[in-house]
Structure 1
Amino acid sequence: MVVFGLEITPRPDLPAIVARWQREITDSELRAGYFAILDAADAQQCSRWLLDLRRRDELTSTELAAWINADFFPKLPQRYAQPVRIAFLVSPMRALQEQSDSSVATIATASQTRHGYSTALFTDEAAAYDWLAR
């Protein structure tokens, strides 16, 4: 399924939902994309997600960071049989860029386990799948 510049693929063999942004997107497309991922995960009852951000630029704003942390992430705890694990896949260059409070790297590496979900940042897809399988 492709929506909002985002290709969403259920992978029951992993098991995971793989979401790959295919183009640059707007703030509203990002928000809609996250809800499309949530809908796909709900349909599969899948708590493991790989979000591939390598084909789009970083969208940073305090508003988006606040939305992710205050509105989206709180929807995740106890939604599925297992806690949600989100692996953010970025290019090595992007992983080295300066981080801001609203960057994906900062959001992804913040410890969220106590909130009922976990996030991590990866530059290697195999490592991301390995982490998701734990």
Structure 2
Amino acid sequence: MQLTPPTPLVDLSYRPDLHILVVRWLGVTTDEETRRIYRYLEEADVNQCRFWLLDARRRPSSGPAVTRWMLDEFAPLVSAHFGGLLYFSYLISPAHLGAAEDFQRQVAAVSNPALPYRLHYASQESDATNWLLQAQESEKAPGHSLAAGRLSSSD
């Protein structure tokens, strides 16, 4: 399923076979464009898909203000709207993987079960996709461990 993005700087599609929303950044976006793209994803409400593969290899990391907005404001609202945890698997260049994993440990607090999202970073699309599929399977299991925040980027 192809979606009409609010800017030509992103390609959006839904993979119904995998139940994954794919967001491919095609270039650098301003903070406001980035917020508009994320808001569009909430409003599009594609089958209430909570499993997002975000291909950010063609753009630098978001600034701290957008990152804080996304994690502190946007994610809790969308999680409540969709009725469950959000799973963000970021596909990034290998050169940025170490810094992203440091961010994940320091700021995102992967082990905090109170967070309405889980983050994952990968430099290979198959790893990013497999993590999302594993998250889906874990949610199906009774007393799934993802809600307790035990799925990490090394799982």
Residue correspondence of structure 1 range 1-134 to structure 2 within 5 A: 1-4=4-7, 5-40=9-44, 42-61=45-64, 63-80=65-82, 82-96=84-98, 99=99, 106=103, 110-111=109-110, 113-134=113-134
On the 8 A contact 1:109/1:120 being kept in 2, the answer is no
- Displacement of 1:70 in angstroms is 2.2
Report the Cα distance in structure 1 between the residues aligned to 2:47 and 2:5, rounded to whole angstroms.
17
Would the aligned equivalents of 2:75 and 2:116 in 1 still touch at CA under 8 Å?
Answer: no
What is the distance in 1 between the residues matched to 2:5 and 2:70?
A: 22
Structure 1 runs of 4+ off > 4 angstroms? none
Structure 1 Cα separation of the partners of residues 6 and 101 of structure 2: 21
Aligned match of 2:137: none
Cα distance per residue 1:64-90 (max 9 Å; x no partner): 233123211211334335422110110
Aligned-partner SS, 2:63: coil
Q: CA deviation at 1:59?
A: 2.5
Structure that is richer in strand per residue = 1
Q: Which runs of 5+ in 2 are unaligned?
A: 135-155
1:57, distance to aligned residue in structure 2 (A): 1.5
Aligned-residue identity in percent: 28
* Residue 26 of structure 1, CA deviation: 0.6
Over the aligned positions, Cα root-mean-square deviation in angstroms equals: 2.3
SS of match in other structure, 1:77: helix
- SS of the residue corresponding to residue 82 of structure 2 reads coil
Q: Which protein has the bigger helix share?
A: 2
Q: TM-score, normalised by structure 2?
A: 0.71
Q: How far apart are residue 105 of structure 1 and its match?
A: 6.3
Aligned residue-pair number? 127
Amino acid at match of 1:43: V
The two structures have a TM-score, normalised by structure 1, of 0.80
- Unmatched 5+ residue regions in structure 1? none
